Every structure is written in C-alpha cells, then in structure tokens.
Structure 1
Amino acid sequence: MDTDLLRTFLEVNKTRHFGKAATNLYLTQSAVSFRIRQLEIKLGTPVFTRKRGDLRLTAAGERFVPYAENILQTWGRARQDVALTDSYQQQLTVGATSLIWELESSSDWLEHVQTVQPEWALRTESLNRQQISNALLEKLVDVVLTSEPPKLADLQQFRLTSFELVLVSSEPDQDMESIAELPLVYLDWGTRFGVEHSRIPSLQRTPVLHSHGCQPALKFLLSRGGVGFLPLSVAQYWIEAGELHLVKDSPSTASELFMVWLSSNDKNADIEELVTALSAS
C-alpha cells in the first residue's frame, strides 16, 4: 500500500474538502482526486460519497480510517528503527493523550529518560483514550503515560508522579453556590474524574465547552469566562496573575501519572531496565 495514498485519504477526511487537502499537502486538486481514486481501486470500494458541497466517508471509509492511521504509525516507527545509528541503540515509542502531553511532568519524564538512557531515541504519539489498549496490544507504542491504566492481562505499571486538579473561576470571590451561575468548562480527564465531577451539584449542567486539551479550556476561561477544573501546574501562573481564581471551599482532585507497558512487549527487558534506572535516579 502506497503511504502517500493513506496520507491523502486521512487529510481529505480531516478537511472534508479536496481543495483544502490539496493545499495542506502541497498538491494540485486533481492529484488529490487521482490518489483517492487509486485508493478506491486498490480497496475495491468507494471511501467517500461525493455530493455538491457535501463530502462524507462511506461505511467502508469509516472502517478504513483506523487501519490507515495504524499503517502510517507502524511505517513511521519502522523507518526510525532501521535508521538508528551507532549513537542510538534503541527506540522507545511513547503514547499519551493530548491532555497528558500538556502536563509539565510528561516533558520532565522524557528529559529524565534521555538522561538515564542517552543511547535511546524517543518517539511520541498522541492517542485518544479509546486507542490506548489497542496501541499497546498492536505494539504501535511501547509505553503509555496515563492517569487511568487500562485493564489488560499482562499490563505492567510504574507510578511516575501525582498532580492536582483545582476548580478555578474567571470571576473573583466565587464559592460552591455562586458558581452555579457561571458557564461550565469541562476538561475530560476520563471515567474516574467524571464520576467525581458528577458528585458536585453546582456543576451539573451542560458544559459550554467540553475539551480534551488543557490549552483550549484555559483560553476559553480567560477570554470568555466561566468555571472548571484545570491542572494546578497549568492554572498557577494565571492565579498568581489575578486572571483566574480558586473557588472557595472547592474540592481538589488528586490524580497520578503512570508509565504502563505490556510484559509481552519485545522491549520488556529494556523497559524494566529503564524503570530501575528511573527509580534509582
């Protein structure tokens, strides 16, 4: 399978427009159309329905999206693995959600790994929570950083650190009753956080913004106003600057960051060696 066809397919799916996909890929629109036709010939089925002003995936196209993404991920890993030089003896592919990558502790962890294993090359991948288990099982990643380890039979985990989520408001002098009048920004940290959030009566309403990223949530609170949970490490600067305010008597939520991997991974011995080195440093 020509990887250019896959990249073109995914770009058209993202933009839902042949012209925009062509611009992003530095191609002509006719070249994009040709690549999509070639892909459909190889698959033996259409992947898009084409109506004036309305470009959509077919059912086959919907099913093909995760395969295209996985093939490109695997191909990218393969290219880096075979290109390793004498300076880098091993490559470690690390996956995490965008929320986790935005935590300062994730960046610190990458630097720590490079310090204790300077001969390793690192590759990062962004995943959604639904992809984590499959990415580990299919060996698309070697390690995942997560606050909610998946339930897999041979999962290994190592606690890296903890972090705190705090309830902040764009308005000063707010308490757990007065925030019921403010727009709600919901930062989606997963099932456990969702359960705890559902136990706070004054936050039980439709969010004006439901976000999977810290920065969109933060920018919305700063520009449009509202209330919501943010990592303390993200909110601290704006609290000190007087732009955000801790809600009085609000609960804080402690969470932990784990490094998880499967013992069936080919690199298990290397990962365990890494854990030992991280523990000792």
Structure 2
Amino acid sequence: MDIRFLSTFIEVADTRHFGKAAENLFLTQSAVSARIKLLEEYFQTTLFIRHRNSIQLTPAGEKLLPFAHQLNATLKEAKRELQLESGEFVVCGATQLASELQLTQTLAQIYEHFPDWSVKAEVLTLEGLSRQLHERVIDLAFSSEPLKSEEVVSVPMFEQPLGLFASPGAPQEPTASDFVALDWGSKARDALSAQFPQLRDARLRTNSLRLAMASMHDEGGFVVLPINMGQGPANTLNLSLLHNFEPVTTTVFLNHLKTIKRPALNTVIDALFGAMN
C-alpha cells in the first residue's frame, strides 16, 4: 500500500472536504477520490459517509485514523533514519527556470563546503515543489517566485533585471514569428505586452532556458533574458540589447521550512547564505 494513500486519508479526515484536501495536497479532486477508493478496497470497508454538504468518518474510519497517523509518522521517520545511516545528505528541488539559473551554482557550493555529503536534485513543478517541501521529501526548494506558506522561509538568492535581446540578422522591429517567450512571471509579461504587444503570439513558449537558447541558436530572433546573460563573455550568440525592462527582474528564491529537524541542514543553509554575502 502506498504511504501517500494514508496521507490523503488523514487530509480528508482533517478537512472533511475532498476539494480542500486536494488543494492542500496539490492534487486533483479525482485523484484524492481515487486514493480513498483504493484505501477502502484495501481495508474492505467504507471510511467516509459522503453527504451533499459534509463528509463524516464512518466508525471504521474513526478506528483507522490514529493508526494512519502512527504509520505515516513511523514510515517517514524510518525513511529519514535510513538516509542518515548512509551519511549526511541534502535533497534539493527546483522549478525548471530556477534550476537553470541557480541550481548548478548552488550544488557546486554544497560540494565545496560538504564534499562528503550525498546530494540529490530534482526538477519539479511549483505545486510539486511546495508539496514535497511540506512533506519533507526535499530539504531545499528553489523557485522563481516565493512559496506562499506560513511554514516556509523564502529568501532571494539571484536577482537580475530583464532585457529584450535580438540575434544578428533579426528584423529591426520585433515580430511575433521571430520571438522566443520564456515565462519570467506576470510582471515581465505585463511589461513586455505594454511595450511590444505584437509579441504575445510568440513562435515558441517555454519554461526552459536551454530550449529557448537552442531555438535562438538555430533560428535567431528575439528573446527576453537577464541582462548579465545577454551581455559580456556569456553572450556566445552575439545578442544585442534592444530594450531594458528594469526595474522588472527575474528572481530565484531559496525556500526552506521554518522548523528544521536536522541541525546539519541549518549548517548547509548558513553556508549558502554566507556564499551569497
């Protein structure tokens, strides 16, 4: 049986609402319902009484609830202890753009300060990032916007103003058919639409910096990038700056839970912030 089924059961029991449980777990309501159905099939009993405007635990559900809490906590602790047994470790998660802008440098800092540690890194959606951080599956989360939670600390690690760049041979006026659109967030989209409304219909829309730069390399055109990427030695495509969107910036945030149960993880966070200063 998947441990996540018990976590879902606990969330529905706490909220007494499939929709709210789905929102808290960053799942669809149908996924929550399917997990509860599988759990009921496993125990061969009904766990919830579903009324139109309320959900109540059945007597069987009431009996299962304390066991679910105990099993959930025990399995999480067992996983953590087994990881600790193999040595110190840190698990990082990042959204696509945050991974390409900051994660490589951060991993290098971790290797430099903690050469004997085991490091795991994954690229996730923003919703998956938040869910896994709250479930303590990952220790550190990197995103292009702060995670909205009272349980999370979000600190900017990287911030750069954005600019519109053109490749050699691009038309003098930006056109939609020559534009590669990266998702830098709502502020960047608003600034771009106000200045260049014709770019709303881009030839390529992506959340991957690598894919955007590959398209620019193969086909040229226009792209919005952090200023430091489009200028200087890093500018291997010989891009020219057409428009500076400052003070509109792109930011990468380091997110971690306020309550950290592993003292060694605090050491990692301190080392990362120290490297930033």
TM-score (norm 1): 0.60
Q: Distance in 2 between matches of 1:181 and 1:134?
A: 36
* Of 262, 270, 278, the match for 2:264: 270
1:82 counterpart letter in structure 2? L
SS at match of 1:139: coil
What is the match of residue 100 of structure 1?
98
How far does residue 192 in structure 1 lie from its aligned partner after superposition?
3.6
Query: Residues 250 and 192 (structure 1 numbering): CA distance in 2 closer, same or farther, change over 3 Å?
Result: closer
* Of 174, 185, 190, the match for 1:190: 185
**Unpaired stretches in structure 1, ≥5 consecutive residues:** 3-41, 45-74
8 Å CA contact 2:193, 2:200 repeated in 1: no
What is the match of residue 245 of structure 2?
251
Query: Residues 280 and 221 (structure 1 numbering): CA distance in 2 closer, same or farther, change over 3 Å?
Result: closer
How far does residue 182 in structure 1 lie from its aligned partner after superposition?
4.8
How far does residue 189 in structure 1 lie from its aligned partner after superposition?
2.5
1:278 counterpart letter in structure 2? L
Instruction: State yes or no: 1:133 paired with 2:127.
Output: no
Query: Residues 107 and 126 (structure 1 numbering): CA distance in 2 closer, same or farther, change over 3 Å?
Result: same
Instruction: State yes or no: 1:165 paired with 2:162.
Output: yes
- Pairing of 1:10-25 with structure 2 (within 5 A): none
Q: How much is the aligned-residue C-alpha RMSD, in angstroms?
A: 3.6
1:97 counterpart letter in structure 2? T
8 Å CA contact 2:94, 2:141 repeated in 1: yes
8 Å CA contact 2:180, 2:221 repeated in 1: yes
How far does residue 94 in structure 1 lie from its aligned partner after superposition?
0.7
- Pairing of 1:38-117 with structure 2 (within 5 A): 82=82, 88=87, 90-103=88-101, 105-117=102-114
Question: How many matched pairs?
Answer: 208
Q: Distance in 2 between matches of 1:246 and 1:239?
A: 13
How far does residue 202 in structure 1 lie from its aligned partner after superposition?
4.1
What is the match of residue 146 of structure 1?
143
Q: Distance in 2 between matches of 1:218 and 1:278?
A: 28
Query: Residues 266 and 198 (structure 1 numbering): CA distance in 2 closer, same or farther, change over 3 Å?
Result: farther
1:96 counterpart letter in structure 2? A
**Unpaired stretches in structure 2, ≥5 consecutive residues:** 3-37, 42-74
Q: Distance in 1 between matches of 2:117 and 2:226?
A: 30
2:146 counterpart letter in structure 1? P
SS at match of 2:138: coil
How far does residue 144 in structure 1 lie from its aligned partner after superposition?
0.5
TM-score (norm 2): 0.61
Kindly name which structure, 1 or 2, has the bigger radius of gyration based on alpha carbons. Answer: 2
SS at match of 1:166: strand
Q: Distance in 2 between matches of 1:151 and 1:83?
A: 28
- Pairing of 1:212-251 with structure 2 (within 5 A): 212-232=207-227, 234-236=229-231, 240-241=235-236, 243-251=237-245
Query: Residues 193 and 81 (structure 1 numbering): CA distance in 2 closer, same or farther, change over 3 Å?
Result: farther
Q: Distance in 2 between matches of 1:197 and 1:128?
A: 24
SS at match of 1:102: helix
How far does residue 188 in structure 1 lie from its aligned partner after superposition?
1.3
Higher mean C-alpha deviation, range 227-236 or range 134-143:
227-236
Q: Distance in 2 between matches of 1:195 and 1:150?
A: 21
Runs (4 or more) in structure 1 with deviation over 4 Å come to 78-81, 83-86, 172-175, 232-241
Query: Residues 233 and 248 (structure 1 numbering): CA distance in 2 closer, same or farther, change over 3 Å?
Result: closer
2:258 counterpart letter in structure 1? S
Q: Distance in 1 between matches of 2:160 and 2:270?
A: 22
